[in-house]
Chain A
């Protein structure tokens, strides 16, 4: 990186007129007309489905224990804790998403 002091203003490109027409800027790959259909949204859907499945598992095991079909009480509690951790993780991901969205909304352009 060259030091700032070495820039010679006489050697720099001549400044254009202020009202000169703006050069055309072309985006690579053409204009984006639609947002990508899959990707993060799909992943988030998968996460929500997994959390729901875990809660369903915990529900099923707890039901078995309460009905007396199963005497493994710890399995029920462990399944509930796993569902709770998975739910907390989903909430964290959602919080991060909303946070970045709000950060983008506050950005000055």
Chain B
């Protein structure tokens, strides 16, 4: 029994946007990280999404939800800062900084937040429709 139609689609989208928010948090947290287990500075991570067919029972169209396809690294080189006192500085005194741009991350953060809100509105309206359907004839 699935009383609230289409809620699985929105649930998938909410999970995907939450992952995106987590990755933005990780990027901002590591904006100054110059050392990683792989060697070199931290590399900015990017989330990409892909559509996913929702298993559907009963009538109605088959719906497509969304899921995280991959979390891949941004390969653009980071800034080089002259800081000879830094423990990770090279022989020429230059430190490789992460390629995280705070402005990009804030834009990503706001986009993810607004997308999450939009999906929550869908959930709210789907529930409202179900509740209104139960009030037929009153």
Which chain A residues have a beta carbon within 8 Å of chain B's beta carbons?
A: 50, 54, 71-72, 74-75, 78, 81-82, 85-86, 88-89, 92
Contact present for B4 and A74 (CB under 8 Å): no
Contacts of B11 in A (CB 8 A): 74-75, 78
Expressed in whole angstroms, the Cα–Cα distance for A78 and B1 within the complex equals 15
Interface residue B134 (Cβ < 8 Å from any Cβ of A): yes
- In the docked arrangement, what's the CA distance between A41 and B15, Å? 40
User: How far apart sit A76 and B11, CA to CA, in the bound complex (Å)?
Assistant: 10
Q: Is B100 an interface residue (CB 8 A)?
A: no
Quick check: A85 and B14 within 8 Å, CB to CB? no
Interface residues on B, range: 10 to 19
A50 CA / B2 CA spacing, docked (Å): 11
CB B43 to nearest CB in A, in angstroms, measures 24
User: What residues of chain B lie closer than 8 Å to A89, measured between beta carbons?
Assistant: 3, 134
Question: Roughly how many angstroms separate A72 CA and B19 CA in the complex, as a whole number?
Answer: 10
Main secondary structure of the interface of A (DSSP, over half): helix
Sample of 19 more A-B contacts, CB < 8 Å, known A74-B15, A75-B15: A50-B1, A72-B15, A74-B14, A75-B11, A78-B4, A81-B4, A81-B123, A81-B127, A82-B3, A82-B4, A85-B127, A85-B130, A85-B134, A86-B1, A86-B3, A88-B134, A89-B3, A89-B134, A92-B134
Q: What's the minimum C-beta distance from B75 to chain A, rounded to whole angstroms?
A: 29
Tell me the chain B residues, 1-38 only, with Cβ under 8 Å from chain A.
Answer: 1, 3-4, 7, 10-11, 14-15, 18
